[in-house]
Amino acid sequence: MGDCGLPTLDAERNAEQDAERYTARIRRLVLGVGGESLKLNDPLELDRPTGGLKHTHPPRPRSTPTPMKFFVDTADLDEIREARDMGVLDGVTTNPSLMKTGGGADFHEHIYKICELVDGDVSAEVTATDYAGIMEEGRTLARIHKNVVVKVPLILDGIKALKTFSDENIRTNCTLCFSPTQALVAAKAGATYISPFIGRLDDVSTEGLELIDQIVTIYRNYGYETEVLAASIRHPMHVVHCAQMGADVATMPLGVIKKLIKHPLTDIGLERFLQDWKAYRESVAV
């Protein structure tokens, strides 16, 4: 390292030479030049220059980084208003279960009301599971309001529908994602958002956050524009890790959004400031 903490020119030159040597060796192996040939299980990583293709390789940065978005995960209009009034809300996600607890009598009318409340994307989920049904429901939902994003389950007919929606410029949120391969296929089909469910993976003793890390890395490696919408968030640490990993969006219940700004030392500190202020005002009063 140089004086200012940057790699020296020598170090840079060495790294370049390592990379060249590595590339040349791969070429020889693939082309079978010089008696060498590529064998199964050849320990290529042994002479691979720094990092290589392993998972530890840092994800490539997004070509145009965008601020992290917060969505509220509810169909309850009062909760949506409360989240919106905090001034940091970028959208809403709903699903059939959330409609059951917070939705109005008319689904389409309720989605319209949500769209009118929030200046941002509102996910409304289809309930058909066949291609034709998904397309019909999705097209109708998309006509309700410009903010509507059609939420489509990650099943075979859903993937086919994602592709058609994308061709028709209808934005989509591919939901119920539990694996990186599902996310890769959804991106190839042109999904606007992919929703990996962190909490539900945690519930079955699987590290939900690891899925976020995997998807972010895969999408950045290839420049997929599909946004990673971390879903099924249960607590603030999920949000911290998602932000560190570079998830584009976190959708969470109102309770979690509120917890993001809670800290007992803030409350204690404020209480003390206010007491001291009062004492100061009294001491200077004539």
First to last CA, the chain: 63
- Choose the binding region for ligand E4P from 80-88, 129-137, 164-172, 194-202 (rule: CB under 6 A): 194-202
Nearer to ligand E4P, 22 or 128 (CB): 128
Residue 172 touching ligand E4P (CB under 6 A): no
- Choose the binding region for ligand E4P from 39-47, 197-205, 255-263, 272-280 (rule: CB under 6 A): 197-205
> Which residue among 103, 232, 238, 247 contacts ligand E4P (CB under 6 A)?
232
Answer yes or no: 151 catalytic. Answer: yes
**How many Å apart are CA 134 and CA 127, to the nearest integer?**
7
Residue 251 touching ligand E4P (CB under 6 A): yes
CB 82 within 8 A of CB 264: no
Nearer to ligand E4P, 26 or 77 (CB): 77
Residue 95 touching ligand E4P (CB under 6 A): yes
- CB of residue 197 vs ligand E4P: minimum separation in angstroms? 5
**How many Å apart are CA 160 and CA 189, to the nearest integer?**
7
Catalytic option among 54, 151, 188, 278: 151
Residue 73 touching ligand E4P (CB under 6 A): yes
Residue 195 touching ligand E4P (CB under 6 A): yes
Nearer to ligand E4P, 134 or 231 (CB): 231
| CB atoms closer than 10 angstroms to residue 225 | 13
Residue 200 touching ligand E4P (CB under 6 A): yes
Query: What is each CA distance from 68 to 119, 122, 154, 210, 285, in whole angstroms?
Result: 16, 16, 24, 19, 48
> Which residue among 49, 104, 120, 199 contacts ligand E4P (CB under 6 A)?
199
Tokens for 203? 């519930």
- CB of residue 262 vs ligand E4P: minimum separation in angstroms? 20
Distance of CA 70 to the CA centre of its chain: 10
Nearer to ligand E4P, 28 or 200 (CB): 200
- Choose the binding region for ligand E4P from 25-33, 132-140, 191-199, 212-220 (rule: CB under 6 A): 191-199
- Choose the binding region for ligand E4P from 38-46, 196-204, 208-216, 273-281 (rule: CB under 6 A): 196-204
Nearer to ligand E4P, 178 or 197 (CB): 197
Choose among 249, 225, 198: nearest CA to 91: 249
* Residue found by looking up tokens 């410029």 in the block: 169
Residue 197 touching ligand E4P (CB under 6 A): yes
- CB of residue 74 vs ligand E4P: minimum separation in angstroms? 9
Number of residues that bind ligand E4P (CB under 6 A): 11
Q: Which residues bind ligand E4P (CB under 6 A)?
A: 73, 93, 95, 175, 195, 197, 199-200, 231-232, 251
As annotated, the active-site residues are 151
